[in-house]
Amino acid sequence: MTILNNFVRINNLIKPLISTDRVVILARRTASTHGNFDYDLAVIGGGSGGLACAKEAVNLGARVAVLDYVTPSPQGTKWGLGGTCVNVGCIPKKLMHQAALLGESIHEAVAYGWQVPAASEVKIDWAALTESVQNHIKSVNWVTRVDLRDKKIEYINGLGEFKDPHTIVATMKNGTKKELTAKNIVIAVGGRPHYPEIPGALEYCISSDDIFSLGHPPGKTVVVGAGYIGLECAGFLNSMGYPATVLVRSVPLRGFDQQMARMVTNEMEQRGVKFCHKCVPLSVEKLESGQLKVRWLNTEEQQQFEDVFDTVLIATGRYALTKQLNLEAAGVNCITESGKILAATEQTNVPHIYAVGDVLEARPELTPVAIHAGRLLARRVFAGAQQHMDYDNVATTVFTPLEYGCVGLSEEEATKRFGADNLEVYHAYYKPTEFFIPQRNIKNCYLKAVAMREAPQKILGLHFVGPVAGEVIQGFAAAMKCGITMEHLMNTVGIHPTVAEEFTRLNITKRSGKDPNPASCCS
């Protein structure tokens, strides 16, 4: 009886753990699932989402292989394991953004009493910057490789494609083929920059795949495209002293709140970035001097322009790397015209084949999204968990010179869904304390909360343009997940003096017509 009672007691203790979707899952369900396959899971793509899924699957007892291969960019740039974020995305972008901010701080330090060299003597060493950035990236590549080895995940540095629904053929660097089978397969190949079909684009232009390791200073640069990648690159290049021009085809930051987008571009223009609106590139020609002559068309006025630049950076969007996968052989047919995969719950039309990350249609192209989705997918496949990725209210930040952070719906999208009469938009301009000495432009320091008009005024979207926007919006993202209302926000005591506290001081609505400018820093 004692043994039986002890068994019952232990069973009651572990039952709650087994029934949750937490990582602490005591019963491994994969021991009997190997069958005749080489692996329980094969992941095609070694970026953030694929690696997160692979690691979680191994933690749950699965045998896992990861295939990753980087096809060089048109300019020959390639990189190591870790995907876009680590190598040519979030990480190097943030480091270069930080370098630009530090340059600005050097000039501002004089007003605080610091004795620094004359402004004319302060300049960026591009070679030193890129070396530091690339050294950090290489260290992350190495740590990632070691982590896979320690977890006993087989890493295959080969270009994978389907032979049949359970078989993948990897083409290795030396051209040899390696074949493997897997019970489950995750497609996590992400995407690469799209190049416009104009003369000279592939031959002479670079993209975000190249800028962070560019072997020479970019000099005078034209950025083709005004999405977040284009604006971020133009912003840090201009701040480093490299003149930047942006060709805007339609609107800046498409998909983001357009009032906030205007704040971002207004700030950039005031800092010296040149914007050419309603313009598309026509050709890029290399001159004997090595510089590049760019021709473009204003589609409104039907007028052509040209100028000479040192660098042309293409930022006209990205395409999914699905064409090279031979998806037909696997039976995967849920592909859009853009090459992306339609999979509402990451599961394709083939039950054992899944997709995570930027390769998915109509999903946020964000690293944390891919990581979280990958982990949850592994838990569903190998631990019987039920939780799915919630793609709503995902926060993000555009790291332009004055940053833009947001979570939830834009004002345009909220109006489309609920109607303007059913919304209340609270807004305010504000004065960051750090902008007082020296006196800096505060015209574009602005925030707003888009809420339902009916009590308790559930908040649908929060938007913030200003310093450290990413740090500000992250905390409010958790509040959005909890269903924050304007009453909650107004009853929150802010930390003074911070820029984040401005959200707790919102009290003026657009509907009221009152002046949203503060009378003082404490008003």
Residue 103: CB atoms within 10 Å = 16
CB 398 within 8 A of CB 231: yes
* Parallel, antiparallel or unpaired: strands 64-67 and 154-156: parallel
C-alpha 260: how far from its chain's center?
A: 18
Hey, is 73 helix, strand or coil? Answer: coil
Task: Say if strands 303-309 and 311-314 run parallel, antiparallel, or are unpaired.
Answer: unpaired
With CA atoms as reference, report the closest residue to 412 among 270, 255, 297.
255
Q: How far apart are CA 313 and CA 225, in angstroms?
A: 9
CA 383 to CA 60: how far, in whole Å? 7
- Enumerate residues 6+ apart whose C-beta is below 8 A from 289: none
Q: Say if residues 262 and 411 touch (Cβ distance below 8 Å).
A: no
Q: Which helix (H) or strand (E) holds 81?
A: none
d(CA 110, CA 117): 9
State how far the Cα of 321 lies from the Cα of 335, in Å rounded to an integer: 11
Q: In the β-sheet with 446-452, what is the strand arrangement from edge to edge?
A: 396-398, 403-408, 459-466, 446-452, 423-429
Q: Provide DSSP, 443-468.
A: TT-EEEEEEESSTT-BEEEEEEEETT
Q: Are 55 and 200 in contact (CB under 8 A)?
A: no
Report the distance separating Cα 84 and Cα 49, nearest Å.
Answer: 11
How far apart CA 363 and CA 342 sit, in angstroms, is: 10
Residue 258 tokens read as: 């357009």
Q: Which two tokens stand for residue 94?
A: 């943030």
User: Is there a contact between 51 and 58 (Cβ–Cβ < 8 Å)?
Assistant: no
CA torsion angle for 475, 481, 483, 484 (degrees, to 10)?
Answer: 10
Which residue among the candidates 34, 107, 216, 496 is catalytic per the annotation? 496
Q: Is 388 a catalytic residue?
A: no
- What whole-number distance in Å separates Cα of residue 382 and Cα of residue 60? 6
Phi and psi angles of residue 411, each rounded to the nearest 5 degrees, phi first: -65, -35
- Return d(Cα 262, Cα 259) in angstroms, integer: 5
Rounded distance between C-alpha atoms, residue 191 and residue 84, angstroms: 8
Active site amino acids: 496
